[in-house]
Amino acid sequence: MQNDAARAQQLLAAYRADIDNLDAILVYTLAQRFKATKAVGRLKAEHDLPPADPAREERQIARLQKLAQDADLDPEFAKKFLSFIIQEVIRHHEQMQK
């Protein structure tokens, strides 16, 4: 019994280490994404382009939902996640145009 509990603790630690690494990847990936969207926002502000592009947003959401499905991730979750990010990007772009 003790060996099973010890083995479970080792597995748990390994899973958590993987999760911690993946969380770091997510954070750094989001930071890179926002750096890119910040550049887009500056370009839009300089050329008086609208902060939102609903047609592109729809295409991106559809694309991410397909990727999510292929990756065995809930496509609805992917849609909610990307929609949240898009709204944050639009908010940043609107602030740049003030």
pLDDT digits (tens, 9 = 90+) for 42-81: 999 999 999 999 999 999 999 999 999 999 999 999 999 9
List Cβ neighbours of 60 (8 Å cut-off, separation of 6 or more): 82, 86
pTM for the predicted model, two decimal places: 0.83
List Cβ neighbours of 43 (8 Å cut-off, separation of 6 or more): 49
Report domain extents, the chain: 1-97
Measured distance CA(51)–CA(40) in Å, rounded: 9
**Fold entry, domain 1-97:** Chorismate Mutase Domain, subunit A (1.20.59)
